[in-house]
Every structure is written in C-alpha cells, then in structure tokens.
Amino acid sequence: MQRLIDGYRRFKSGRWPEERAHYEELATKGQSPEYLVIACSDSRADPATIFSASPGELFVVRNVAGIVPPCESDNGHRGTSAALAFAVVQLNVREIVVLGHAQCGGIAAALDSKLVADVPFIGQWIGLLEPAIEHSAHIEDHRMRHVMMERDCIRLSLRNLMTFGFVADRVKAGKLRLSGARFGIADGKLEVLDTTRDEFVSVE
C-alpha cells in the first residue's frame, strides 16, 4: 500500500494543482465521456495511458482478455454487460473501442488451458473465445497464432456487442460507432481494425 500512497502524494502535489479546476467541474457537472473502452485487465496496457486521456474522457471496462460476452437474459451477475449498458444508455457514449494487446495472458490461457488450470472462474470466462480458437486452429506457428487470436478476440467482441439491442439500435441509427484496436507492448505500436477490409492497420 505504501507504494500507492507515495504515488498519490506525487499526484496530489504535481498533477492535481494543474487539473484541479477540471476535477471540480467534473464533480459539479458529472461525467460525459464520449468513449467507452473495453480493455484487458493487464497492468501493461492501460487505456488512459495509451490514449493520453484526461480525467472524465474515457469510460473504461477491463476484464481478462478484454472480452465482450454475448447478451444473455438470465439473472446472473453481468459486470461487463452492466457497465456496457450504463455507458451506452445512461452516459450516451458516441464510440465503443475494444482494445486488445500483445502478449495477452488471457489469449495464452485460451490456447493452453493448462496455464490456468488451478485458477478459479477463468476457464469458463475464456471459453467465450472458442470461436476465435477454431478460426486460427490451422496455424502451426504458435507466435503467429497468438497474434491472430489477439486480433480475432477483438473481432469477436465487436460481433458480440451487436447482440445487445441498445447497442445495435444506436449503431443502426448512426448514434454509436464500434471500433477495434490492438496495442503492442514491446514496440508501443497501435493498430486499428479497418472494417472495410477486415484488417488491422498501424496508425503509424
């Protein structure tokens, strides 16, 4: 905890005075982010850092592998789905970005379940990636398959987003846009899904 307290103190003495007025405005007027970013929980791939975002700019949902589950109507606990609904219905975000990243542990576990055999809950969660696993099954090179899986996970999540009626309705009405991107941890490169060609293209 001490490391976090020290970090807070640096924030309070450095960044806080510079942005105090902005924080006060957010406290008074509330949040109105334009973007919902659905990303992996991986500590190396923080959306606010990658996109140089200011407080109040991004509404962020993070989970293992950055997965969007399909819409399900039972009474289970739906953390990602609840956050998605709040961002779209309540906050009226204008764009949803599914952000994947290189060296994703969730993807590695989906390809080799033995990696997380003793970890509770993970198996069923990454089982959502089964369609992507099947799509890349013909690739023999492990590294290439891992990269393809990272991209296919983003594609799958984008398809799953459209199973939510409140998302599909807004997309069809032109009020909401869906985008996909992948961040390279080692090289810092960002690639964005070009939906017209169904290919990831580097923004550089």
Q: Which domain holds residue 98?
A: 31-202
Residue 188 Ramachandran class (φ > 0 left, ψ -120 to 50 alpha, else beta): left
Considering its fold, how many domains does the chain have in total? Answer: 2
39 shares a domain with 23: no
First to last CA, the chain: 38
φ, ψ at 59 (rounded to 5°): -100, 120
Percent of the chain with pLDDT over 70: 100
Is residue 81 classed as helix, strand or coil in its secondary structure?
helix
Task: With cut-offs at 50, 70 and 90, classify the pLDDT of residue 166.
Answer: very high
The model's pLDDT over 90-148, given as tens digits with 9 standing for 90+, comes to 999 999 999 999 999 999 999 988 889 899 999 999 999 998 888 888 888 889 999 99
Structure confidence at residue 40 (pLDDT): 97
12 shares a domain with 96: no
57 shares a domain with 11: no
77 shares a domain with 14: no
Sign of the torsion formed by the C-alpha atoms of 13, 14, 18 and 19: negative
45 shares a domain with 23: no
184 shares a domain with 144: yes
Average pLDDT, the chain: 94
55 shares a domain with 42: yes
21 shares a domain with 40: no
Beta strands in the chain, from DSSP E residues, in sequence order: 35-40, 58-63, 95-101, 177-183, 190-194, 199-202
